[in-house]
Amino acid sequence: MKILTTRFGELEVNKDSLITFSNGIPGLEQYTTYCLLPADEQNESPFFFLQSTEESSLCFILADSFSFYPNYEIHLEEDLLKELAIEKPEEAMVLSVLTVQESLQDATINLKAPIILNLSSGKGKQIVLSKDFQIKAPLVSAAEGGR
């Protein structure tokens, strides 16, 4: 299927690779279908784009939370595991939304509300953790060995 995007132009997306957020993403509940795009062709980068298939201008920049915060630990509730059809830990992909103002030097990562994906089942959900994680944790200082 082809989708039109503001950032990437026209994209060919395999229907099997679509991710459905049954209740949307908080604040954007009307958009439920997305595709996950790696930031580089070799798929070696910790960065991804989460592009809406329903709204061409809706695209999030995501990062692998653990690449920047190796001690980041979260507990996924049993209900969430069932909802996303996650049976083994390796089926879960945990990504965090980035806010990039002018450059990656100033970027922040939202550790409080990660996006949990099961690429096998095509299901995803953004959750809000009860733990005291930062919504705007610095990205660069973390990558340089901070917290």
pLDDT at 142: 53
Tokens encoding 80: 């969430």
> Per the confidence metrics, is the pTM higher than 0.95?
no
Of 127, 115, 128, the residue nearest 50 (C-alpha): 115
Q: Distance between CA 21 and CA 25 in Å, rounded?
A: 7
pLDDT at 129: 93
Query: Is the Cα dihedral 2, 24, 27, 116 positive or negative?
Result: negative
- Structural domain tally of the chain? 1
Q: What is the CATH number of the domain that holds 15?
A: 2.30.290.10
Query: Is the Cα dihedral 101, 134, 68, 92 positive or negative?
Result: negative
What domain range includes position 42? 2-143
Tokens encoding 91: 């089926």
Ranges of residues in the chain whose predicted pLDDT is under 50: 145-147
pLDDT at 17: 85
| Cβ burial 106-144 (10 Å sphere, 16+ → b, else e) | ebbbbbbebbbbbeeebbbbbbeeeeebeeebbbeebbe
